[in-house]
Structure 1
């Protein structure tokens, strides 16, 4: 009876004598499109979403560090695939038990594949820094459950890498960064792919076996790029760079997946669908795809949503939340496309979007 009681306790706690019966969790590496609160703990960063009206359609409606009005694409994909939402690495409540139950999100607004990307934001976690933080996470889990169980836990995990747009918009395409005059389009892409390849191989050496790399959308069509153009149209050069990045990254991911032992690396591409939404918004239930829902009146670009910003009447009808980032509704559409492309499960069991009626602007 004592043995039976002991086995029952082991089962409830999720640990066994030989290791850990741990849940399958996610480890997310990314930029502001995936950040769930890391940057709000960086006191000097200029890339921060810890202001109203960010998060207005998420939970209690208060800012939570997400650079949108609701959920990120990673939130929605995880929900629909039955995976827990990983908390921000910088969340003070993060513990070994929380990591074992939910994974970790290392994404940081303004971050890039390259260390120098986003330097104007002062503080952000580049992809190499995020991987360094992941290594620290591994040390914590090894001390908690031992090396063998830890190895299994991390090899069973699901990994998402979603960066790249800042390497162009907040690096290569801005003359204040040396990369803009050190490289041309082709040599910069080679530099990016060499760096990303080394990072993905490093993640594999740390246990990442099931990994998805997200591609870029038509970043030349984000409101910021449009308003900075002379005609208000999408910037063709920027979109061509996104397409080149996607092709090169897809090739890289396929290469690594075939060469690295036990690696299942996949590339997630939603460029065409997002481009179609921007070109034909009404077909997808939107009525605006060229300006942000949250804006500072006619003063543009405002760059960020602030408490005195004016909100659109119906957030569910806008593709973009601010000058950079998609709305919750657009993120759901993108997530559904990714799920259809990457998984056999169509994933219809996720939460429905929150109501999206604008509140009165702050006084």
Structure 2
């Protein structure tokens, strides 16, 4: 009987220890945010992304803005996206969605203006981007209600950051944010929806305007750094002069519209220089410049080598200026091409999911200095 009692006591103690371990495991699982899935090729050091910018990286923020004309929450947008029309300005996933998968994040980054974006949903990060917006506060006014880059950063500071600190149980934002990527994709609309519409001072040259916009962006990046951002991904402006919208507005011109592309290359040159110039002013920071301009230009100049057939026409039926549109967005419920993976542009300005995949893949893993500088996003995520 004594031996039996000792054995029974030992079993009870072992069961008790196992139950205690199980409780600890469950408590840890439910209280520690899980944001990525470990793989042999990626160690999941990056917790998530905070995204700022315009339509190329917007994932639905404008859906919830009243009086905004810059929306993509209708068919045929999202025809190849699992959730249908979501506010992404393409047929499927945008660059941010694809980057998130390559970083092994567990879900799509939620949009800030979505009322459900709070609590545990923000542990992978939040997307603040707004189609039609710019670096300048008054850029995009013709598109109605859009959220400027300054306001996006303010939303991050005043709303998301306190909530994030609560989720991680840490009031030191600098400790939390060091493992997040801050992706900024803005600037194109400051030219197309501001400078080239004559909204800037008529005496300001393109060079002076570009320097001014770059200086403002520099101050905005420093503001994010002060809040705790350490890893930045800066997206170049696309070659908008080669878009179907630009080609349609100057039908007699052969090739791309030079003045639009000149503005883009001027801004992109400043942006690349900013990577080196601003880093000493932002201790502990690392910045990556993604030359989306070159990547997309290479696709446009040699589409078949990338698996594309059409690099000048939009896949969807676009609502033209003569029809009350802008020549950019698809017609609501309009027709679309069936071979979308062979088209470079989905609407008058925005690339298809297939092109977004090329850009995101290059951003993540390219070893070519003209495409990513000074290194790629994967390397940035491991720092």
TM-score by length of 1: 0.87
Task: Choose the corresponding residue for 1:168, options 173, 184, 191.
Answer: 191
Q: Which residue of 2 aligns with 1:42?
A: 65
- 1:60-98 deviations in Å (ceiling 9; x for gaps): 4x2111010011111111211212421100112112211
Hey, what's the Cα distance between the residues in 2 that align with 1:203 and 1:57?
34
1:112 pairs with 2:134: yes
Q: Decide whether the 8 Å contact of 2:318 with 2:347 is kept in 1.
A: no
Q: Which residue of 1 aligns with 2:252?
A: 231
Q: Report how far residue 3 of structure 1 moved.
A: 6.5
Max radius of gyration: which structure?
Answer: 2
1:11 pairs with 2:28: yes
Deviates more, 1:312-321 or 1:79-88: 79-88
SS of the aligned residue for 1:211 comes to strand
Deviates more, 1:213-222 or 1:226-235: 226-235
Task: Choose the corresponding residue for 1:323, options 336, 343, 348.
Answer: 348
Structure 2 gap segments, 5+ residues each: 1-16, 37-46, 367-371
- 1:145-176 deviations in Å (ceiling 9; x for gaps): 4444544222221110011110111111112x
Q: Report how far residue 302 of structure 1 moved.
A: 3.8
Structure 1 gap segments, 5+ residues each: 347-363
Hey, what's the Cα distance between the residues in 2 that align with 1:219 and 1:51?
23
Hey, what's the Cα distance between the residues in 2 that align with 1:78 and 1:145?
20
Q: Decide whether the 8 Å contact of 2:165 with 2:176 is kept in 1.
A: no
1:156 pairs with 2:156: no
Q: Which residue of 2 aligns with 1:350?
A: none
1:210 pairs with 2:231: yes
**Cα RMSD (Å):** 2.3
Q: Which residue of 1 aligns with 2:328?
A: 303
Q: Decide whether the 8 Å contact of 1:173 with 1:180 is kept in 2.
A: no
1:283 pairs with 2:305: yes
Hey, what's the Cα distance between the residues in 1 that align with 2:20 and 2:227?
36
Change (3 A) 1:74 1:50: same
TM-score by length of 2: 0.82
Q: Which residue of 1 aligns with 2:3?
A: none
Q: Which residue of 2 aligns with 1:189?
A: 210
Deviates more, 1:2-11 or 1:39-48: 2-11
Q: Which residue of 1 aligns with 2:43?
A: none
Hey, what's the Cα distance between the residues in 2 that align with 1:141 and 1:82?
20
SS of the aligned residue for 1:295 comes to coil
Q: Which residue of 1 aligns with 2:359?
A: 334
Task: Choose the corresponding residue for 2:52, options 29, 37, 46.
Answer: 29
Q: Decide whether the 8 Å contact of 1:118 with 1:171 is kept in 2.
A: yes
Deviates more, 1:119-128 or 1:256-265: 256-265
Hey, what's the Cα distance between the residues in 2 that align with 1:146 and 1:297?
49
